[in-house]
Structure 1
Amino acid sequence: MTIPPVPSPVPSPPPHPRNDTGLEILLLTGMSGAGRSTAANALEDMNWYVVDNLPPLMIPPLVELVARAEGALPKVAVVADVRGRAMFSELDRVLSDYQDQGIGIRVLYLDAADEVLVRRFESVRRPHPLQGDGTLVDGITAEREALGSLRDRADIIIDTSDLNVHQLSNEVRSAFGQDGVSPLRLTVMSFGFKYGIPMDADHVVDVRFLPNPYWIPHLRGHTGQDVEVADYVLSQPGALTFIDRYLSTLDVVVEGYLGENRTFATIAIGCTGGKHRSVAITEQLAKRLADRVHARVNVRHRDLGRE
């Protein structure tokens, strides 16, 4: 009978160990099937430089090489696991060498109960890397023995037994994300329907219900970025009401995106040519959105400048 691991709460990240290289170095390891790929993807989304399945003896050259980049790659995560077989045994020694030098490498260890790991391997119909001619349980047992010392020295242990991929990503973001920096990037884009709907739009809004400044001679040559046009568009009946109500909708949408681990979304605001109404509404919407939701908001005017 196999004994499932004791669930461990995810603690706040420990203080960064001293690291004279100026780099933030993380070792991502743990049981096969516990979610290393998901965790690595979450780190990459937070601008970590992630190296997968690196032999332990290659960690020192990697750290030295990245240190020479002079801050271009300040956060490095190394994914190491038993796929390295005999070379994996060197990992403890490499970590100890760094510790003796006073250079800290944090260790994130992912774990899960044996029965959960068995179900996950069976669902993808792949053998365990240490299974050999034995059973899945044999492979899992051998891996637990091989990783025992690493689990003991881990700074953070996440038990993924009851986590889906979105929840695991959120745990990683919580532990290693920058405080106050949202993982969600929203692009608010103006466009002209005459040039086609943006293919990467998640939301498409039509503001052609507003009067077109194009038909006002002294506004025709200006754009929605100019005060005269913006004032005209926003003063029209329904313009500000539309923005207020759409912002309320986006509050719910953004909250859902964050809960589902979305990292980017595009809101496309369209008028006929993408020069007047959509530009003015996009500028106003993006300004108010940035003050309202927990996301990084960018503005893009796709068709501004077209004839």
Structure 2
Amino acid sequence: MSDNERQDRQEDAPQGADATQGTQEDTTTETATDTAIPELVIISGMSGAGRSTAAKCLEDLGWFVVDNLPPALIPTMVELGARSQGNVARIAVVVDVRGRRFFDNLRESLADLESKHVTRRIVFLESSDEVLVRRFESVRRPHPLQGDGRIVDGIDAERELLRELRGDADLVIDTSSLNVHELRAKMDAQFAGEEEPELRATVMSFGFKYGLPVDADLVVDMRFLPNPHWVPELRPYTGLNEEVAAYVFNQPGAKEFLDRYAELLQLIAAGYRREGKRYVTIAVGCTGGKHRSVATSEKLAARLASQGVETVVVHRDMGRE
């Protein structure tokens, strides 16, 4: 090789630190792209409460869903998703008592995710004992924890096992009075949006004589107002009727209560946002869940929507006799 050829090759070759820096920058860029941390939703709750339906709903919305994954493997699943170059951006994991021997590892896994700044939410499905027993009897299958006992024994054991997880849940859905389509509608309302709102609210009317909604974060009692049930011309209608709503809010204190409670909810909503709570269920009750609670729920939901809170209205007991 001539001296001129040697000189040309030396001039074309990358020099020293500049060459190393270029390689490192390329590697860093590639790694950052390959390790985008996916969003994570953990679906759990009572057996028979609708976990499978909730998981299928997320799957239909484009989530990568893994059923009955041992909790210890959740961080590994997130890590694999991060290596997918953006192909797995949202992961939903169903965790339940079928993996009970691994369940003690759940808190350790959640702490690991938190240390890695993974955005994760817990959706907890539950239902009343009566409804769960009826569902298990209808499919003629034992509860996974009942052993040699009764179905109710398995339900009690499961509630105790899941008690702390329920307390940590970001979203609790009571499916006692929901059919499959209504549960899917609730999941769609929470997860179908392209962008996450700051706060989502469910305003639920109910009747006290049918019991409190177990998934309520806040409860409002409208029984301080006269009951339209005792007005013969209004009795057949519901709080969705304009005449019923006008009767309710023409009562002394009704409009003032709505104004002040809406202001209070502004303070509560600001606190929820600061604490990272994204979902709230406001239960509005009257005696039968047909007139006062329904009219108030509609008005309250409209106020929340005007404040920038994405709101869903559910009338739990309106159709009951």
Q: TM-score, normalised by structure 1?
A: 0.51
Alignment-mate amino acid for residue 66 of structure 1: G
Question: Which of 85, 88, 106 does residue 103 from structure 2 map onto?
Answer: 88
Question: Which of 47, 65, 72 does residue 80 from structure 2 map onto?
Answer: 65
Question: Which of 124, 136, 144 does residue 109 from structure 1 map onto?
Answer: 124
Distance (whole Å) between structure 2 residues aligned to residue 68 and residue 128 of structure 1: 38
Q: Equivalent residue for 2:183?
A: 168
User: Deviations for 1:259-300, whole angstroms, at most 9, x for unmatched residues?
Assistant: xxxxxxxxxxxxxxxxxxxxxxxxxxxxxxxxxxxxxxxxxx
Alignment-mate amino acid for residue 125 of structure 1: R
* CA positional deviation for 1:61: 1.2
Alignment-mate amino acid for residue 56 of structure 1: P
Q: Equivalent residue for 2:172?
A: 157
Task: Point out where structure 2 has 5 or more consecutive residues left out of the alignment.
Answer: 1-34, 196-321
Distance (whole Å) between structure 2 residues aligned to residue 57 and residue 145 of structure 1: 21
**Are the equivalent residues in 1 in contact too, given 2:38–2:118 (CA < 8 A)?**
no
Alignment-mate amino acid for residue 135 of structure 2: R
Question: Which of 21, 39, 55 does residue 54 from structure 2 map onto?
Answer: 39
Higher RCO structure, 1 or 2 (CA under 8 Å, sep 6+):
1
Q: Equivalent residue for 1:51?
A: 66
Alignment-mate amino acid for residue 72 of structure 2: L
Distance (whole Å) between structure 1 residues aligned to residue 84 and residue 194 of structure 2: 25
Distance (whole Å) between structure 1 residues aligned to residue 183 and residue 194 of structure 2: 18
Task: Point out where structure 1 has 5 or more consecutive residues left out of the alignment.
Answer: 1-19, 181-307
User: Deviations for 1:215-245, whole angstroms, at most 9, x for unmatched residues?
Assistant: xxxxxxxxxxxxxxxxxxxxxxxxxxxxxxx
Q: Equivalent residue for 1:214?
A: none
Question: Structure 1's 179 and 102: CA in aligned 2 closer, same or farther, altered over 3 A?
Answer: closer
User: Deviations for 1:154-208, whole angstroms, at most 9, x for unmatched residues?
Assistant: 000000000000000010010011259xxxxxxxxxxxxxxxxxxxxxxxxxxxx
Return the structure number with greater helix share.
2
Question: Which of 136, 158, 165 does residue 151 from structure 2 map onto?
Answer: 136
Distance (whole Å) between structure 2 residues aligned to residue 123 and residue 138 of structure 1: 17
* CA positional deviation for 1:92: 1.9
Distance (whole Å) between structure 2 residues aligned to residue 93 and residue 132 of structure 1: 28
* CA positional deviation for 1:22: 3.3
Q: SS state of the match for residue 41, structure 2?
A: strand
Aligned residues: 161
* CA positional deviation for 1:21: 3.9
Q: What are the within-5 Å matches in structure 2 for residues 119-130 of structure 1?
A: 119-130=134-145
User: Deviations for 1:103-130, whole angstroms, at most 9, x for unmatched residues?
Assistant: 2311000010111100000000000000
Q: SS state of the match for residue 109, structure 1?
A: strand
Q: What are the within-5 Å matches in structure 2 for residues 287-306 of structure 1?
A: none
Alignment-mate amino acid for residue 43 of structure 2: L
Q: SS state of the match for residue 131, structure 2?
A: helix
Distance (whole Å) between structure 2 residues aligned to residue 30 and residue 21 of structure 1: 29
Q: TM-score, normalised by structure 2?
A: 0.49
Q: What are the within-5 Å matches in structure 2 for residues 152-301 of structure 1?
A: 152-179=167-194
Alignment-mate amino acid for residue 59 of structure 1: I
* CA positional deviation for 1:23: 1.1
